[in-house]
Protein backbone atom coordinates (compact mmCIF):
# COMPACT_ATOMS: atom_id res chain seq x y z
CA UNK A 1 0.00 0.00 0.00
CA UNK A 2 2.80 2.44 0.91
CA UNK A 3 4.49 1.64 -2.41
CA UNK A 4 1.66 3.56 -4.04
CA UNK A 5 2.81 6.77 -2.36
CA UNK A 6 6.36 6.47 -3.65
CA UNK A 7 7.01 9.07 -6.30
CA UNK A 8 9.74 9.12 -8.93
CA UNK A 9 13.03 10.93 -8.38
CA UNK A 10 11.72 13.98 -10.22
CA UNK A 11 8.59 13.97 -8.03
CA UNK A 12 10.63 13.93 -4.84
CA UNK A 13 12.87 16.75 -6.05
CA UNK A 14 9.80 18.85 -6.88
CA UNK A 15 8.32 18.15 -3.45
CA UNK A 16 11.59 19.13 -1.78
CA UNK A 17 11.80 22.37 -3.77
CA UNK A 18 8.18 23.21 -2.96
CA UNK A 19 8.64 22.50 0.76
CA UNK A 20 11.80 24.64 0.95
CA UNK A 21 10.16 27.55 -0.89
CA UNK A 22 6.98 27.40 1.20
CA UNK A 23 8.79 27.13 4.54
CA UNK A 24 11.17 29.97 3.63
CA UNK A 25 8.30 32.26 2.63
CA UNK A 26 6.46 31.32 5.82
CA UNK A 27 9.46 32.38 7.93
CA UNK A 28 9.86 35.63 6.01
CA UNK A 29 6.18 36.48 6.41
CA UNK A 30 6.12 35.60 10.11
CA UNK A 31 9.23 37.65 10.86
CA UNK A 32 7.69 40.65 9.13
CA UNK A 33 4.31 40.58 10.78
CA UNK A 34 4.85 39.25 14.30
CA UNK A 35 6.59 42.38 15.67
CA UNK A 36 4.67 44.72 17.96
CA UNK A 37 1.43 44.30 19.88
CA UNK A 38 -1.40 42.25 18.40
CA UNK A 39 -3.77 44.23 16.21
CA UNK A 40 -6.57 43.41 13.82
CA UNK A 41 -6.51 45.32 10.54
CA UNK A 42 -9.82 45.60 8.75
CA UNK A 43 -9.98 46.16 5.01
CA UNK A 44 -12.73 46.68 2.47
CA UNK A 45 -11.47 46.08 -1.06
CA UNK A 46 -8.45 48.36 -1.49
CA UNK A 47 -9.09 50.47 1.63
CA UNK A 48 -7.76 49.97 5.16
CA UNK A 49 -10.79 50.90 7.26
CA UNK A 50 -9.44 50.52 10.79
CA UNK A 51 -6.79 48.99 13.02
CA UNK A 52 -7.90 47.72 16.44
CA UNK A 53 -5.70 46.33 19.22
CA UNK A 54 -6.82 42.87 20.32
CA UNK A 55 -8.27 43.05 23.87
CA UNK A 56 -5.88 41.92 26.61
CA UNK A 57 -6.91 39.72 29.53
CA UNK A 58 -9.60 41.45 31.57
CA UNK A 59 -10.43 44.03 28.92
CA UNK A 60 -13.99 44.34 27.75
CA UNK A 61 -15.05 42.93 24.40
CA UNK A 62 -16.04 45.33 21.68
CA UNK A 63 -18.28 44.93 18.69
CA UNK A 64 -18.84 47.05 15.61
CA UNK A 65 -20.17 46.96 12.07
CA UNK A 66 -18.33 47.34 8.79
CA UNK A 67 -20.07 48.37 5.61
CA UNK A 68 -19.13 46.06 2.74
CA UNK A 69 -20.28 45.42 -0.82
CA UNK A 70 -23.51 43.67 0.21
CA UNK A 71 -24.20 45.23 3.60
CA UNK A 72 -23.00 45.32 7.18
CA UNK A 73 -20.58 42.72 8.55
CA UNK A 74 -20.62 42.48 12.34
CA UNK A 75 -17.25 42.00 14.02
CA UNK A 76 -16.50 41.19 17.67
CA UNK A 77 -13.12 41.56 19.38
CA UNK A 78 -12.73 39.64 22.66
CA UNK A 79 -10.34 37.41 24.64
CA UNK A 80 -10.52 34.72 21.95
CA UNK A 81 -9.41 37.15 19.25
CA UNK A 82 -11.42 38.60 16.43
CA UNK A 83 -14.39 37.00 14.74
CA UNK A 84 -17.21 37.81 12.35
CA UNK A 85 -20.55 37.15 14.05
CA UNK A 86 -22.84 37.98 11.17
CA UNK A 87 -22.46 38.69 7.49
CA UNK A 88 -24.86 39.48 4.64
CA UNK A 89 -23.15 36.97 2.33
CA UNK A 90 -24.76 33.65 1.35
CA UNK A 91 -21.77 31.39 1.93
CA UNK A 92 -21.14 32.37 5.61
CA UNK A 93 -17.61 30.96 5.42
CA UNK A 94 -16.35 34.02 7.30
CA UNK A 95 -18.73 33.43 10.21
CA UNK A 96 -17.95 29.70 10.40
CA UNK A 97 -14.20 30.28 10.42
CA UNK A 98 -14.53 31.44 14.06
CA UNK A 99 -12.15 33.47 16.20
CA UNK A 100 -8.53 34.22 15.24
CA UNK A 101 -5.71 35.85 17.18
CA UNK A 102 -2.37 34.68 15.75
CA UNK A 103 -0.18 36.82 13.54
CA UNK A 104 -0.81 35.89 9.92
CA UNK A 105 -4.35 34.64 10.49
CA UNK A 106 -6.92 36.13 8.15
CA UNK A 107 -10.70 36.14 7.96
CA UNK A 108 -11.91 36.90 4.48
CA UNK A 109 -15.44 37.50 3.27
CA UNK A 110 -14.98 37.57 -0.47
CA UNK A 111 -18.61 38.35 -1.47
CA UNK A 112 -18.67 41.35 0.90
CA UNK A 113 -15.03 42.19 0.04
CA UNK A 114 -14.03 42.35 3.72
CA UNK A 115 -10.67 41.18 5.01
CA UNK A 116 -9.51 41.04 8.63
CA UNK A 117 -5.82 40.38 9.07
CA UNK A 118 -3.96 39.90 12.36
CA UNK A 119 -0.45 41.18 12.97
CA UNK A 120 1.76 41.30 16.05
CA UNK A 121 2.37 39.08 19.03
CA UNK A 122 -0.74 38.06 20.91
CA UNK A 123 -0.33 38.38 24.70
CA UNK A 124 -2.92 35.68 25.30
CA UNK A 125 -0.81 33.03 23.56
CA UNK A 126 0.28 31.76 27.00
CA UNK A 127 -3.31 30.72 27.68
CA UNK A 128 -3.25 28.61 24.57
CA UNK A 129 -0.27 26.67 25.93
CA UNK A 130 -1.91 26.13 29.35
CA UNK A 131 -5.05 24.86 27.66
Partner 1 sequence: MPEIMIPRPPLSELEGKAQWLALLLLAIGLHLFEAALPSLGPWFKPGLANLVTLLVLVMMGPRAAIALAIGRVLIGSFFIGTLFTPTFVISMAGGLAAAVMMIVAWRYIPGISLIGISLLGALAHMLAQFVTVESLFIQQSALYYALPPLLLLSCITGWINGALARYISARLTHEI
Q: Does 128 bind partner 1 (CB under 8 A)?
A: no
Distance CA 116, CA 41 (A): 6
Distance CA 118, CA 113 (A): 17
Apex 49 CA angle, 44 and 53, nearest 5: 120
Q: Does 35 bind partner 1 (CB under 8 A)?
A: no
Q: Does 114 bind partner 1 (CB under 8 A)?
A: yes
Looking at the Cβ atoms of 46 and 58, the one nearer to partner 1 is 46
Q: Does 111 bind partner 1 (CB under 8 A)?
A: yes
Distance CA 41, CA 54 (A): 10
- Least distance (Å) from partner 1 to the CB of residue 4? 5
Q: Which of residues 88-107 bind partner 1 (CB under 8 A)?
A: 90-91, 93, 97, 103-106
Distance CA 53, CA 39 (A): 4
Q: Which of residues 41-60 bind partner 1 (CB under 8 A)?
A: 41, 43, 45-46
Q: Phi and psi for 33 in degrees, rounded to 5?
A: -110, -5
- Least distance (Å) from partner 1 to the CB of residue 60? 26
CA-nearest of 86, 79, 85, 80 to 60 is 79
Which residues would be at the binding site for partner 1 (CB under 8 A)? 4-5, 7-11, 14-15, 18-19, 22-23, 25-26, 29, 33, 41, 43, 45-46, 90-91, 93, 97, 103-106, 108, 110-111, 113-115, 117
Amino acid sequence: MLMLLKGSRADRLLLLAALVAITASWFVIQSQISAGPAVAEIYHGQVLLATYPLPQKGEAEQGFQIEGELGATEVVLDQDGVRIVSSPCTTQHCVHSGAHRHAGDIIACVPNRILISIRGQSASEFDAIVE
